[in-house]
Structure 1
Amino acid sequence: MFPIIGLVVVFGMVFGGFMLAGGHFEVLIEAAPMEFMMIGGAALGALIISNDMHGLKSVGGGVSKVMAGPKWGKKDYSDLLALLFQLTKLMKTKGIVALEAHIEKPSESAIFQKYPKLCKDHFVVDFICDTLRMMTMNLDDPHQVEDAMEKQIEKHHHESLHPAHALQGMADGLPALGIVAAVLGIVKTMGAINEPPEILGLMIGKALVGTFLGVFLAYGIVGPIASRLNSVIEHDAQFYKIIRDVLVAHLHGNAAQVSVEIGRGSVPSTMQPSFAQLEESLAAAVEA
């Protein structure tokens, strides 16, 4: 919703101000299609050159993330803590053998299936199961496990940021491409130097539309989209760090309740459940 509101404000203020200042839209409307073809087409071509097919698909998915916003809501954080509470408590009370059935086939696990949204995220499920599997293989050094989990998070985060970097690269190049389009317009104008001033003025105005479009698209649309996408990805990345904090706390010998309380402290403030809310969520999870 907010990205759409922002775009409306950008277009309204820029073109509304142009209109109130006495500007005429005829020149913009007449020149925009060809200028946009040159600038937008060159930017798209540069994006194709600098990415493989997987990267291009991720850029498309990134734009949809901008519109949808962060993937994880307040309930999802509570659900994650409840899931980790049940798994760590099971490991504490009934041992590794009881846990293996859940981490080997999470799609059939009664614990995992309580949280369908979490199960749809393959990285969440694999991250939890792979880490717990390492623990069942006697890798119980908290520092080693934390290092291994941190590397997985960094790898996933680096890959997730690719579309934001690609869009920012496009935004950085758009002003220069706008200048290219403007220079071509000036070249065309110089070829008609014998025309009367009113025609030359119109041709120069059309050429300058290229510079305008390049800067406008870069700083009014593509750049802010890239920045918003980066913010969404950074917000979602915190979700995975909570898994790390809870499981490492468990390895340090803390009770399941203490481990998830440590994880609760890492939840972003706007999404963080209170102590009482988390207690209710854990109690409901155990009873279910």
Structure 2
Amino acid sequence: MLLRFTGFAILFLSVFGGFVLAGGRLLSLWQPPEIIIILGAAVGAFVISNPVTVQKMTLTHLKYVLIKNKEFDKNFFMDLLALMFRLIETRQRKGVNAIEDDIEMPESSKLFQSYQRIISHPRLIYFITDNLRITGMGSMPGHAFEGLMESEIETLEDDLKRPAKSLHSIADACPGFGIVAAVMGIVVTMGAMDGPVELIGVKIAAALVGTFLGILLCYGVFGPLAAALESTEQSELLAFECVKMTLLASHSGLAPITAVDSGRRLLYKELRPTFSEMEDMLQSLKASL
């Protein structure tokens, strides 16, 4: 989060600082009508072009980007690996029925509730529990089970990418909205042509601010935020891939710690615990089971 705000600070200081160094006055850039036209049009277009679900998803992912920047961090994946280990280990030692209540009602399961960061993502919980039911049946071949999960993840990937795509669309539209604001400013200027030359100059400058703001919002604000959303969405998708590989390894008969390690290997460098870190955590969990 701090890094992104630092980036925005560098961006705005460079743009507006350079403007001031060139002899410009910051107050001349404060044009509320232009700001209302561009931002209002951007928000309106966003609401028109996206269903309520995507709007809520976009706001949620923006919260992850701007406020809770550590949502999908190394600790999150450590918790996910620990949860998967406990589920697989308990089932292997005590049988399928030992985790049946946990799978059927994860919202009231002490096991799931021990990992609040995981339980706060219902889609991930449903993915885990639904596929654990299938492995508990023990009748589906490994290749069929893998294909089933891959199809589900493909759908999830398309779904997770919708917020970033919607924000990219708004970013692409902002220069156009800036032109709209500029044209409307020129219309206002044409109506004041019989006035003082100084007034005409001020109105033309105000109109040009609309073009400037549209381009700045596109390449300096909404575009980078959309890219940040893509990064967050990819990290969330890794959680599903990690679960898939862990369940596949367990379904093929590997030991729980080996199965969990199979999921760990899919994670990006900055998100992946070392084998020693994971082993120490899982050994302590195993001792408590």
The answer to whether TM tops 0.5 is yes
Identity among equivalent pairs (%): 37
Q: Are the equivalent residues in 2 in contact too, given 1:103–1:132 (CA < 8 A)?
A: yes
Deviation at 1:3, TM superposition (A): 2.1
Displacement of 1:107 in angstroms is 4.1
Shift in alpha-carbon separation, 1:88–1:236, aligned structure 2, 3 A: same
Point out the more displaced range, 250-259 or 104-113: 104-113
| CA pair 70-161 structure 1, distance change in 2 beyond 3 A | farther
More deviation in 79-88 or 201-210?
A: 79-88
**Pair 1:64-2:91 in alignment:** no
CA displacement, residues 130-181 of structure 1 (integer Å, 9 cap, x when unaligned): 1011122334311211122222223233222222211111110000110111
Query: What is the CA–CA distance in structure 2 between the aligned matches of 1:125 and 1:199, rounded to whole Å?
Result: 62
Aligned partner letter, 1:168: H
Q: TM-score, normalised by structure 1?
A: 0.91
Equivalent residue pairs, number: 286
Mapped partners of 1:212, 1:21: distance in 2: 16
SS at match of 2:271: coil
Which segment is superposed worse, 239-248 or 128-137?
Answer: 128-137
Q: What residue in structure 1 maps to residue 15 of structure 2?
A: 14
Q: Which moved more, 1:189-198 or 1:120-129?
A: 189-198
Displacement of 1:109 in angstroms is: 4.0
Rate the CA distance shift 1:131–1:21 in 2: closer, same or farther, 3 A. Answer: same
The residue number in structure 2 matching 1:242 is: 242
Corresponding letter in the other structure for 2:188: K
Deviations 1:184-215, CA, capped at 9 Å, x for gaps: 22222233334443332222111111101111
Superposition map of 1:216-231 within 5 A:
216-231=216-231
Closer, same or farther in 2 for the Cα pair 1:117/1:187, shift >3 Å? closer
TM-score, normalised with respect to structure 2: 0.91
2:142–2:252: 8 Å Cα contact kept in structure 1? yes
Query: What amino acid maps onto 1:284 in structure 2?
Result: S
Show the counterpart of 1:232: 232
Question: Where does residue 33 of structure 1 map in the other structure?
Answer: 32
Alignment gaps of 5+ in structure 2: none
Give per-residue Cα distances to partners, 1:200-259, cap 9 Å, x unaligned: 222211111110111111111111111111111111211111000010111222222221
1:147–1:41 Cα change, 3 Å: same
One-letter code aligned to 1:27: S
Counterpart mapping for 1:1-288 below 5 A:
1-29=2-30, 32-67=31-66, 68-288=68-288
Return the offset for 1:70: 4.6
- The secondary structure found in structure 2 opposite 1:254 is coil
Q: Distance in 2 between matches of 1:148 and 1:130?
A: 11
8 Å Cα contact 2:72-2:232 kept in structure 1: no
Looking at structure 2, the residues matched to 76 and 26 of structure 1 have their Cα atoms a distance apart, in angstroms, of 45
Structure 1 contact 70–236 (Cα < 8 Å) conserved: no
- The secondary structure found in structure 2 opposite 1:175 is helix
Distance 1:88 1:71, change over 3 A: same
AA in 1 matched with 2:4: P
Amino acid at match of 1:203: K
Q: Distance in 1 between matches of 2:142 and 2:24?
A: 66
Aligned AA (1:20): L
| Structure-2 separation of matches of 1:63 and 1:69 | 9
* Contact 1:96–1:136 (CA under 8 A) maintained in structure 2: yes
> Whole-Å Cα distance in 1 between the matches of residues 51 and 120 of structure 2?
26
Relative to structure 2, which stretch is displaced further, 166-175 or 18-27?
18-27
Q: Which amino acid aligns with 1:15?
A: F
Gaps spanning 5+ residues in structure 1: where? none
Report which stretch shifted further, 208-217 or 161-170. Answer: 161-170
